[in-house]
């Protein structure tokens, strides 16, 4: 499939899931269950096949620079100004970056769809579920394939909507709905930043380029990016920095980084495959994708990059620390996702864009696997609480093995995917030169500690759930059963990917081709990143690799030691550091703080304006009304006395004379004749006189 | 000789008219009306209005007077007991008519009528009246005819309605 | 030959109204179909207008110009351009849907439908009139039926709401009258040397003489017009009539009130204030933008505090109209004003949907208290679907029509009012907040047994809602049909305002 | 010289006229009132003819035409008056004028 012919099939990739969603959504109930599954899975499979075709088409293009396929569907918005014009097209761009993302989204997405068939067995709202899932895939694909920032924003909010719908899928429990709303609002806060960044970017370029750049499409933006530099700084920061920070605010909202991560743990209220797809593999990575996509912007402001890196590292460490104390399996995985995302942002922050994407891909594999594994565990044990599980190794061998593969991957044990990608990031961080001197080294240290913690809590999770004896009570024990093939199938495939995934991005020291790095090269062509690889000696790289493996091993040993060898120890430790444990267990009370700092004041303000509106303005209006009433009453009284008096007097006079004249009309004809003659005579006199 | 005729006719018109005004018996009044009309006809002739004099006699006396007498006769039955036909408010009526007469005479004698110094001989006026009627005053002539027709229909209708009502 | 399509489209409902008035009592069951039938041709003509409206030509089209009152040089002058075209389409569509929606009105059917058709005529007239006098007549004509429709068929506090609505708008139109007279006596028609009410003549500054030349008068006129229109938009300090009028008005009337009448204010500004007093428009722009911003934020916060669903939607209308005002008060680019007109159209469609939905639920549960509901999605899934779409459109979800118009307004306004626009953008969070919170309190959560037996949305109601839903989605993906219709005229308007020294 | 002149005739018609009024005002019998009206009309007719005789204008004959019309009108009037009186009489059995008082509001 050569690129030119593929051009006109490109739009099918997002369109197929959309069609699937539309059909299931509208006709869902009437179609049989099998049809619903067929449509849902079929559409995603179709997209996957096309993505692969697209990937091959790209690879077939010889020169890396030319590897991009753009297909413009139609003109979305056109507003012709006096000189320039604001024109946005609905256009899809397939270049190495979006092709990789497409593969991840549709690939992992397809496995999760298959898994959902089994998982959602017996749930009445399945048509609606699959419709939402397809709609999500559509939005994600639009986000990834969009050729301009505004269309990406459509996808950006579209995934936000789908996560809202899917988190609150079982809406009969109020807190699921509340979790959904929380997710959407948090995303919306991020989108506020994103939109402000978008506007500032548009206007600075539009004005400075003499109304030439009016379409926000990446090609044009990349070309006109340097113009940003000479725009005069606002509030002391250079324009690119502000734009990048604003966009990064959007990213933190979407990818659950430090300030706006609170919605992700609550998002676990949704069905587990949803968490796997949205809150592990695809949606949360949108922020990373956006920064990599706009790397030419970020490179213009080192300050922004350092901020991204620092936030990433801090989030990694912070989330990992919380994950240690969580007892709900999905919560643990949620915090682990946040921490892994932190690593991606760290990688991107140190301009190792390729490494960030590489970690994104590997993370998609093993995190999806972990979530799906957790899903089958929950499916079997009918509880999320790991304290009620234990010893499931015997009952669910398939889930156990796949879970172990993912565990090794995420912990960063060499042959598995996690090791290569995380190590790549740590290596790049170590010798990155950011805004502040030595910041790279410090962040590397934080990252290393995070890696250790990750290994620790993952070990804790694995041991508590799979080893030891079952603590879930007799009745639950009988029901323990391995999940059906439709669920274990995807687990196995993802396990293979997690194992093999690492080899697509081998570090330079092994002199093997860094496939993914090379592939992404043209998109992220940049001065830092890959170049810095060469200058440092292989020894340093190997050394760092050894250190990170050591950290992982330490974490595993500590976890094994505490939870397997001396199971009573964690209890004792918990007693000793009671309050510390309480603080960490309750997520540093961040949720409560946010509630008090943001949510309650907003409601208070709104109630205040509501009362103000009713009270003051309405009061003013009503006061006006009452005042006029009183004035009119006053006038009325005065009017009653004087004017009325006069009027009544006139009325009485009229009545009096009326009465008398009435008596004149006796009805006797002759009296009338009298008046006739009298009238005649009076007239005659008048004539006589004048 | 003319003065004598004039005085005779004046007396013939005025005296019976007093009778009409004052007599208590309605039938006497009706008949005295005959003399008044006759007197007026005479005055017309004296004034050279020969056609009018004849007309007066023809229409008034033989037409209208007869009708009045019919009217009197038909409504007479019930009045046999001779209630006074005069209204209590007579005095006011008298005062008023005298007042009007006074005002009238003031007008007559004060204004300087553009009288002719000498009176032309009276000429027969019938042909001229005829010309005028069909010339200048054609429209009033036609309207008068329509009026008369309307009156005929009206009178018949009123009488028939009252008859049917009983 | 002058095409009389505009006169037809304006006065045809009046014929319907007349027929309904004189129908004998026993044919009462015929009244509703006749009312409906009298709006169908309007739809057809609107479609014909849409089809042969020349997109590239910024000036007035389908013009009808005959002298009316010679004595004062007042003409019966109708015409449609880019700005009024969407409004005409909106009015035609909403009138049809509202009559369909008011099928279960059973009190004084004759009065209701004839007044409604009279209102329809008035609205159409306002959008097509190009002579200030004619414009003012239609403007006042609108008040009367509205007053009765709210005052007679309204909810519990209907008299208070009707009076308040009437007085507020009347005060507004009094100000407008003063300005109108100032324009009349301050302008002279080049050809005939007479004073004139004609917008096209008033628009060219050469025609201004005497008082209209002196800046203080111009400033005063603009202020008067601004207040008059601000009451109608409504901008915040003058808005308190809207929630009451909406809460008390019957469903179909609040649809028309929010769908079309609110647009009169902004339409007036663009039709009258901008072309005639462009220098003042530029001078007042920041103040108006500030009012717009206050409306957006204030409206959003108030909406969040409401207990009554209809009041919530009323306040959300105020907030959305704030976007229109913000977008409109930017003259350094045409993006803002294009966004404003698009927002007027979209907001018309979305609020119509929202009020129809409230009507659906009010007809069944006879209460609008948001907290009284809960878990309605269980037994009314289709209704929940429609409301979900409407709420998502309301909070400006990309892919639906209102996102594009709000985005354009914000992007347009950002060029000159950076700080204000950033503040305005925060409203997307608050709006998302109160819409989703309402969604949650009504539809999600455990099933409220009180509403166990609420019947699903009926076919008729669905028939009202579906066209609107389709428009919202289609305009979300492809807004060009509206955008290219308004493009040329607005570019001309902005040029006009900027060009004047 | 002629014994009689315009003033004499006017005097006569004045007397007739006032007598007519007197009759109309004071007679109880409706038919008498009608007679009074006839007197008034005749007085008017007499006036016209007197003027046409003594005041010389080129178409003095028109005075006669007026009198002719007066006669026609009075004929018409008398017919109607009597018809009314008779119908009143047939319904109310009286022709005393003060009994016809339904005109009162």
Sign of the alpha-carbon torsion through C188, C193, C195, C197:
negative
Identity of the residue in A666, A670, A673 whose CB atom sits nearest the CB atom of D104: A666
Position with higher pLDDT, A521 vs A340: A340
Q: Which residues pair with A148 in a beta bridge?
A: A217
Measured CA to CA, the distance from residue A400 to residue B74 in angstroms comes to 137
Q: Assess whether pLDDT exceeds 50 at residue C245.
A: yes
pLDDT of A195 reads 92
The answer to whether residues A119 and A487 touch, using CB atoms and an 8 Å cutoff, is yes
- Give how far Cα A444 sits from Cα of A350, A408, A430, A439, C6, Å: 11, 21, 5, 8, 73
Identity of the residue in D24, D102, D104 whose CB atom sits nearest the CB atom of A673: D24
pLDDT of A527 reads 42
Residue count of chain C, please give it.
501
In A177-294 the beta strands, taken as DSSP E runs, fall at: none
Q: Helices A174-208 & A149-167, crossing angle to 10 degrees?
A: 180
pLDDT of D104 reads 61
Q: Assess whether pLDDT exceeds 70 at residue A243.
A: yes
Q: Assess whether pLDDT exceeds 80 at residue C349.
A: yes
D99–B contact, CB cutoff 8 A: no
The answer to whether residues C330 and A638 touch, using CB atoms and an 8 Å cutoff, is no
To the nearest whole percent, how much of chain B has pLDDT over 70? Answer: 84
As a whole number, mean pLDDT of residues C61-77 equals 87
Q: Assess whether pLDDT exceeds 60 at residue C463.
A: yes
The answer to whether residues A427 and A549 touch, using CB atoms and an 8 Å cutoff, is no
- CB contact (8 A) between residue D97 and residue A670: yes
| CATH label, D9-103, candidates 3.40.50.2000, 1.10.287.3510, 3.30.200.20, 3.40.605.10 | 1.10.287.3510
Q: Which residues contact C267 (CB under 8 A, 6 or more apart)?
A: C83, C84, C87, C126, C127, C344
pLDDT of C87 reads 94
As a whole number, mean pLDDT of residues C389-407 equals 91
pLDDT of C133 reads 92
Least confident of A71-75, A255-259, A373-377, A667-671: A667-671
- CB contact (8 A) between residue C240 and residue A621: yes
Q: Is residue C391 part of a domain?
A: yes
pLDDT of C256 reads 92
- CB contact (8 A) between residue A681 and residue B92: no
Token look-up 């004749």 returns A673
Return the closest-CA partner of residue A185 out of A507, A674, A607, A598.
A598
The answer to whether residues C115 and C151 touch, using CB atoms and an 8 Å cutoff, is no
Q: Three-state SS for A328?
A: strand
pLDDT of B163 reads 66
Q: Which residues pair with C75 in a beta bridge?
A: C67
Q: How confident is the model at residue C164 (pLDDT cuts 50, 70, 90)?
A: confident
Write the pLDDT tens digit of every residue in C85-144: 999 999 999 999 999 998 888 888 889 999 999 999 999 999 999 999 999 999 999 999
Write the pLDDT tens digit of every residue in D3-16: 567 788 888 889 99
Chains D and A touch each other (3 or more Cβ pairs < 8 A): yes
Position with higher pLDDT, C64 vs B124: C64
- CB contact (8 A) between residue B132 and residue D82: no
To the nearest whole percent, how much of chain C has pLDDT over 90? Answer: 46
Identity of the residue in B89, B92, B103 whose CB atom sits nearest the CB atom of A684: B103
pLDDT of A531 reads 40
In D1-105 the beta strands, taken as DSSP E runs, fall at: none
Measured CA to CA, the distance from residue A108 to residue A116 in angstroms comes to 12
Q: Is residue C420 part of a domain?
A: yes
- Give how far Cα C444 sits from Cα of A81, C379, C380, C458, D81, Å: 45, 11, 11, 21, 94
Return the closest-CA partner of residue C409 out of C343, C455, C479.
C343
- CB contact (8 A) between residue D104 and residue A667: yes
Return the closest-CA partner of residue C434 out of C291, C255, C297.
C297
Measured CA to CA, the distance from residue A570 to residue C145 in angstroms comes to 77
- In chain B the domains, ranked by start, together with CATH numbers, are 1-96 (1.20.120.1200)
As a whole number, mean pLDDT of residues A126-145 equals 91
The answer to whether residues A372 and A494 touch, using CB atoms and an 8 Å cutoff, is yes
Q: Three-state SS for C77?
A: strand
Identity of the residue in B87, B100, B107 whose CB atom sits nearest the CB atom of A677: B100
Least confident of A330-339, A642-651, B124-133, C398-407: A642-651
The answer to whether residues C263 and C85 touch, using CB atoms and an 8 Å cutoff, is no
Indicate the domain borders of chain D.
9-103
Q: Three-state SS for A331?
A: helix
Q: Assess whether pLDDT exceeds 60 at residue A534.
A: no
Q: Chains near C, with 3+ CB pairs < 8 A?
A: A
Instruction: Suggest the residue from B12, B13, B123 to mutate for an interface test with chain D (most D CBs closer than 10 A).
Output: B13
Q: How confident is the model at residue C500 (pLDDT cuts 50, 70, 90)?
A: confident
Return the structure tokens found at C167: 């007085």
Measured CA to CA, the distance from residue A336 to residue A322 in angstroms comes to 9
Burial class (CB in 10 A: 0-12, 13-18, 19+), C65: middle
The answer to whether residues C456 and C379 touch, using CB atoms and an 8 Å cutoff, is yes
Exposure on the CB side of residue A254, measured as CA atoms within 13 A: 34
Contacts of B72 in chain D (CB under 8 A): 31
Interface contacts A/B by beta carbons within 8 Å: 22
Q: Is residue C171 part of a domain?
A: no
- CB contact (8 A) between residue A181 and residue C437: yes
Identity of the residue in D3, D34, D85 whose CB atom sits nearest the CB atom of B2: D3
Contacts of D101 in chain B (CB under 8 A): none
pLDDT of C501 reads 62
**∠ Cα A644 A649 A652 (to 5°):** 125
Domain residue limits at C298: 286-501
- Give how far Cα C457 sits from Cα of A19, A166, A641, C357, D74, Å: 26, 24, 61, 9, 86
* Share of chain C residues as helix, strand and coil, in percent rounded to the nearest 5: 75, 5, 20
- Give how far Cα C403 sits from Cα of A153, A485, C409, Å: 11, 44, 10
Write the pLDDT tens digit of every residue in A12-68: 888 999 998 988 888 877 888 888 888 889 999 999 999 998 888 888 887 777 778
Q: Is residue C429 part of a domain?
A: yes
CA distance A681 to chain B (A): 6
Measured CA to CA, the distance from residue A431 to residue A96 in angstroms comes to 26
Contacts of B163 in chain D (CB under 8 A): 90
Interface contacts A/C by beta carbons within 8 Å: 148
Q: Three-state SS for A639?
A: helix
Q: Which residues contact D51 (CB under 8 A, 6 or more apart)?
A: B113, D6, D60, D63
The answer to whether residues A24 and A40 touch, using CB atoms and an 8 Å cutoff, is yes
If you measure CA to CA, which chain A residue comes closest to D40?
A677
Measured CA to CA, the distance from residue C319 to residue C298 in angstroms comes to 7
pLDDT of B81 reads 45
D8–B contact, CB cutoff 8 A: yes
Write the pLDDT tens digit of every residue in B54-111: 888 888 888 888 888 888 888 776 554 445 555 566 777 888 888 888 888 888 887 7
Q: Is residue C211 part of a domain?
A: no
- DSSP H stretches of helix in C395-479: 401-414, 418-443, 459-477
Q: What is the DSSP-derived secondary structure letter of residue C205?
A: G
In A390-481 the beta strands, taken as DSSP E runs, fall at: none
Contacts of A172 in chain C (CB under 8 A): 375, 378, 445-447
If you measure CA to CA, which chain D residue comes closest to B141?
D69
Q: Is residue C409 part of a domain?
A: yes
To the nearest whole percent, how much of chain C has pLDDT over 70? Answer: 99
CA distance D2 to chain A (A): 30
Identity of the residue in B87, B96, B106 whose CB atom sits nearest the CB atom of A678: B96
The answer to whether residues C246 and C313 touch, using CB atoms and an 8 Å cutoff, is yes
Q: How confident is the model at residue A528 (pLDDT cuts 50, 70, 90)?
A: very low
pLDDT of A530 reads 41
* Number of folded domains that form chain C: 1
Measured CA to CA, the distance from residue A241 to residue A245 in angstroms comes to 6
Count of helices and strands (H, E) across chain B: 7, 0
A572–B contact, CB cutoff 8 A: no
| Total Cβ atoms within 10 A of residue A580 | 12
Q: Is residue C384 part of a domain?
A: yes
Q: Assess whether pLDDT exceeds 80 at residue B124.
A: no
As a whole number, mean pLDDT of residues C270-292 equals 91
Contacts of B108 in chain D (CB under 8 A): 7, 10-11, 14
Measured CA to CA, the distance from residue A424 to residue A430 in angstroms comes to 10
């Amino acid at each position: 499939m050569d690129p030119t012919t593929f051009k006109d099939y490109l739009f099918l990739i997002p369109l197929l899931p959309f069609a699937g969603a539309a059909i299931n959504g509208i006709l869902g109930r009437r179609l049989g269950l099998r049809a619903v599954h067929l449509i849902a899975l079929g559409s995603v499979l179709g997209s996957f096949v096309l993505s692969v075709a697209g990937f091959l088409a790209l690879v077939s293009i010889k020169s890396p620079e030319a590897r991009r396929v753009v297909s413009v569907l139609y003109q979305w918005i056109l507003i012709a100004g006096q000189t320039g014009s604001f024109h946005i097209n609905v256009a899809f761009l397939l270049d190495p970056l979006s092709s990789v993302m497409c593969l991840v989204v549709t690939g992992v997405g397809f496995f999760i769809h298959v898994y959902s068939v089994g998982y959602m067995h017996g749930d009445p709202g399945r048509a609606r579920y699959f419709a939402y899932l397809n709609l999500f895939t559509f939005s994600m694909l639009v986000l990834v394939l969009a050729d301009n920032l505004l269309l990406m924003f459509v996808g950006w909010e579209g995934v936000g909507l789908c996560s809202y719908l899917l988190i609150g899928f079982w809406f009969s429990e109020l807190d699921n709905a509340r979790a959904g709303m929380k997710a959407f609002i948090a995303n919306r806060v991020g989108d506020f930043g994103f939109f402000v960044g978008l506007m500032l970017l548009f206007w600075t370029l539009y004005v400075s380029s003499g109304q030439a750049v009016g379409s926000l499409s990446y090609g044009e933006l990349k070309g006109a990016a340097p113009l940003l530099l000479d725009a005069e700084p606002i509030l002391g920061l250079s324009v690119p920095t502000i734009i990048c920070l604003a966009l990064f605010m959007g990213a933190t909202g979407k990818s659950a980084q430090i300030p706006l991560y609170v919605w992700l743990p609550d998002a676990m209220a949704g069905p587990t495959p949803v968490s796997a797809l949205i809150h592990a593999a695809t949606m949360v990575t949108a922020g990373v994708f956006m920064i990599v996509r706009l790397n030419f912007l970020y490179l213009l402001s080192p300050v922004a990059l350092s901020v991204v890196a620092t936030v990433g590292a801090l989030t990694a460490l912070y989330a990992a620390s919380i994950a240690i104390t969580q007892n709900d399996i999905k919560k643990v995985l949620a915090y682990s996702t946040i921490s892994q995302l932190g690593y991606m942002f760290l990688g991107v922050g140190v301009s190792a864009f390729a490494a960030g994407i590489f970690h994104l891909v590997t993370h998609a594999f093993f995190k999806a696997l972990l979530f799906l594994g957790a899903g089958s565990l929950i499916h079997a044990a009918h509880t999320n609480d790991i304290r009620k599980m234990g010893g499931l190794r015997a009952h669910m061998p398939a889930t156990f093995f796949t879970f172990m593969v993912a565990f090794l991957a995420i912990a960063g044990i060499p042959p598995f995917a996690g090791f290569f990608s995380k190590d790549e990031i740590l290596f790049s961080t170590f010798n990155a030169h950011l805004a502040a001197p030595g910041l790279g080294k410090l962040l590397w240290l934080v990252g290393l500690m995070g890696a250790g913690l990750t290994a620790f809590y993952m070990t804790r999770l694995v041991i508590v759930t799979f080893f030891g004896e079952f603590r879930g009570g007799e009745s639950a024990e009988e029901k323990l059963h391995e999940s059906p093939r439709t669920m274990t199938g995807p687990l196995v495939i993802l396990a293979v990917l997690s194992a093999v995934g690492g080899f697509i991005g081998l570090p330079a020291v092994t002199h093997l081709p860094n496939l993914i790095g090379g592939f992404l090269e043209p998109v992220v062509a940049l001065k830092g990143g890959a170049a810095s690889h060469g200058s440092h000696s292989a020894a340093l790289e190997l050394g760092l690799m050894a250190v990170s493996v050591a950290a992982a091993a330490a974490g595993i040993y500590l976890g094994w030691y505490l939870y397997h060898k001396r199971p009573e120890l964690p209890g004792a430790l918990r007693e000793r550091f009671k309050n510390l444990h309480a603080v960490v267990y309750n997520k540093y009370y961040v949720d409560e703080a946010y509630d008090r700092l943001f949510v309650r004041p907003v409601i208070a303000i709104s109630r205040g304006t509501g009362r103000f509106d009713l009270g003051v303005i309405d009061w003013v209006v009503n006061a006006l009304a009452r005042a006029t009433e009183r004035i009119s009453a006053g006038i009325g009284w005065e009017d009653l006395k004087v004017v009325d008096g006069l009027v009544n007097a006139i009325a009485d006079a009229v009545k009096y004379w009326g009465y008398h004249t009435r008596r004149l009309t006796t009805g006797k004809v002759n009296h009338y004749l009298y008046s006739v003659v009298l009238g005649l005579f009076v007239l005659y006199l008048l004539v006589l006189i004048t | 000789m003319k003065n004598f005729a004039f005085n005779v006719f004046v007396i013939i018109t005025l005296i019976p008219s007093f009778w009409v005004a004052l007599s208590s018996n309605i039938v006497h009044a009706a008949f005295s009306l005959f003399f008044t009309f006759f007197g007026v006809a005479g005055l017309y002739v004296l004034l050279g209005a020969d056609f009018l004099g004849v007309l007066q006699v023809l229409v008034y006396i033989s037409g209208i007077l007869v009708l009045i007498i019919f009217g009197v006769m038909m409504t007479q039955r019930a009045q046999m007991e001779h209630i006074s036909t005069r209204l209590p408010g007579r005095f006011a009526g008298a005062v008023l008519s005298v007042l009007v007469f006074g005002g009238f005479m003031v007008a007559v004698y004060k204004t300087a009528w553009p009288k002719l110094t000498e009176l032309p001989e009276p000429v027969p006026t019938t042909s001229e009246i005829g010309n005028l009627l069909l010339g200048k005053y054609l429209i009033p002539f036609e309207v008068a005819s329509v009026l008369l027709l309307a009156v005929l229909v009206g009178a018949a209708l009123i009488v028939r309605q009252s008859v049917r009502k009983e | 030959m002058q095409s009389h399509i505009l006169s037809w489209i304006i006065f045809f409902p009046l014929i319907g109204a007349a027929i309904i008035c004189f129908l004998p009592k026993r044919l009462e069951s015929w009244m509703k179909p006749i009312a409906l039938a009298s709006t169908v041709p309007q739809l057809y003509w609107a479609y014909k207008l849409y089809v042969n409206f020349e997109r590239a030509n910024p000036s007035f089209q389908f013009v009808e110009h005959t002298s009316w009152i010679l004595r004062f040089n007042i003409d019966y002058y109708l015409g449609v351009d880019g700005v009024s075209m969407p409004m005409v389409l909106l009015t035609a569509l909403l009138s049809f849907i509202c009559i369909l929606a008011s099928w279960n009105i059973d009190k004084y059917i004759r009065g209701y439908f004839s007044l409604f058709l009279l209102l329809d005529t008035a609205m159409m007239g306002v959008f097509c009139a190009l002579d200030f006098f004619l414009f003012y007549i239609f403007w006042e004509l609108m008040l009367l039926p509205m007053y009765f429709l709210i005052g007679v068929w309204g909810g519990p506090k209907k008299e208070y709401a009707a009076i308040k609505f009437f007085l507020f708008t009347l005060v507004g139109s009094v100000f407008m009258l003063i300005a109108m007279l100032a324009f009349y006596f301050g302008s002279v028609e080049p050809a005939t040397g007479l004073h004139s009410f004609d917008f096209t003549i008033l628009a060219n500054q050469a025609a201004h003489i005497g008082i209209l030349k002196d800046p203080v008068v111009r400033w005063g006129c603009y202020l008067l017009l601004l207040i008059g229109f601000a009451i109608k938009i409504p901008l915040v300090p003058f808005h308190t009539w809207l929630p009451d009028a909406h809460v008390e008005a019957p469903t179909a009337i609040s649809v028309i009130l929010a769908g079309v009448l609110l647009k009169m204010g902004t339409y007036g500004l663009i039709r009258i204030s901008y072309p005639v007093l462009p220098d003042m428009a530029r001078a007042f722009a920041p103040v108006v933008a500030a009012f717009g911003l206050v409306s957006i934020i204030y409206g959003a916060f108030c909406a969040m505090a409401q207990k009554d669903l209809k009041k919530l939607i009323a306040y959300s209308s105020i907030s959305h109209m704030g976007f229109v005002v913000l977008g409109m008060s930017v003259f350094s680019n045409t993006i803002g004003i294009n966004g404003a007109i698009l927002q007027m159209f979209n907001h018309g469609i979305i609020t119509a949907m929202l009020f129809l939905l409230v009507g659906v639920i009010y007809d069944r549960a006879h209460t609008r208290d948001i907290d009284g509901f809960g878990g309605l999605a269980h037994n009314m899934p289709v209704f929940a679907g429609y409301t979900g779409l409407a709420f998502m459109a309301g909070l400006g979800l990309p892919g639906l029509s209102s996102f594009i118009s709000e985005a354009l307004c914000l992007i347009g306004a950002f060029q000159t009012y950076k700080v204000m626009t950033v503040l305005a953008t925060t409203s997307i969070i608050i709006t998302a907040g109160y819409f989703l919170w309402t969604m949650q309190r009504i539809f999600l959560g455990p099933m409220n047994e009180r509403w166990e037996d609420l019947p699903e949305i009926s076919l008729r109601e669905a028939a009202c809602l579906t066209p609107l839903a389709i428009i919202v989605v289609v305009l979300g993906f492809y807004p060009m049909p509206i955008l290219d219709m308004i493009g040329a005229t607005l570019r001309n308007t902005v040029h006009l305002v900027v060009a004047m020294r | 010289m002629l014994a009689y002149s315009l003033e004499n005739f006017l005097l006569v018609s004045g007397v007739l006229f006032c007598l007519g009024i007197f009759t109309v005002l004071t007679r109880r019998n409706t038919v008498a009132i009608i007679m009074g009206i006839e007197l008034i009309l005749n007085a008017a007719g007499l006036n016209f003819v007197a003027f046409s005789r003594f005041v010389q204008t080129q178409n003095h004959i028109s005075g006669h035409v007026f009198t002719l019309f007066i006669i026609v009108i009075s004929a018409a009037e008398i017919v109607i008056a009597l018809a009314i009186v008779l119908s009143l009489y047939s319904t109310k059995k009286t022709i005393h004028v003060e009994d016809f008082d339904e005109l009162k509001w």
